[in-house]
């Protein structure tokens, strides 16, 4: 599954947020991989809008796996002060967005439909 989410970094903390993500702890990177986070990216706007994208089998499951991780607990505690809502761990404040379009999915549908139409013509 593909998941997109948003959150908000305090504008005054953007330089620090960028600095920390330029050198994420190796043990945190490994824990994300082991938990099933694939093709994970974060995008940050100048006003603090943070948008994340991840591919995984089950978003709730990969988040639950990370919640059990000691390194994730340390990372979230350190990162919390950089977010607009610093009363909770940043990964608990994600607002998941609904995917409404994906090019590959649409092309697959079109190609499948065209293939079905061609097969029907050949059977006639």
Q: Which residues are catalytic?
A: 21
For tokens 């995008």, name the residue: 43
Going 61 to 6 to 88 to 27, the CA torsion angle's sign is positive
Task: Give the residues across from 44 on adjacent strands.
Answer: 50
| Distance of alpha carbon 96 from alpha carbon 53, whole angstroms | 10
Tell me which residue of 124, 114, 117, 3 sits closest to 53, measured CA to CA: 3
């Amino acid at each position: 599954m593909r998941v997109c989410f948003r959150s908000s970094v305090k504008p005054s903390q953007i330089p620090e947020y960028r600095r920390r993500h330029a050198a994420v702890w190796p043990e945190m990177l490994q824990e994300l991989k082991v938990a099933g986070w694939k093709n994970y990216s974060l995008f940050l706007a100048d006003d603090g809008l943070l948008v994340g994208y991840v591919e995984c089998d089950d978003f709730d499951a990969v988040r639950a796996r990370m919640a059990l991780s000691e390194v994730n607990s340390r990372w979230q505690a350190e990162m919390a002060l950089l977010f607009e809502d610093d009363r909770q761990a940043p990964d608990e404040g994600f607002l998941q967005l609904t995917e409404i379009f994906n090019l590959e999915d649409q092309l697959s549908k079109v190609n499948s439909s065209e293939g079905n139409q061609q097969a029907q013509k050949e059977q006639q």
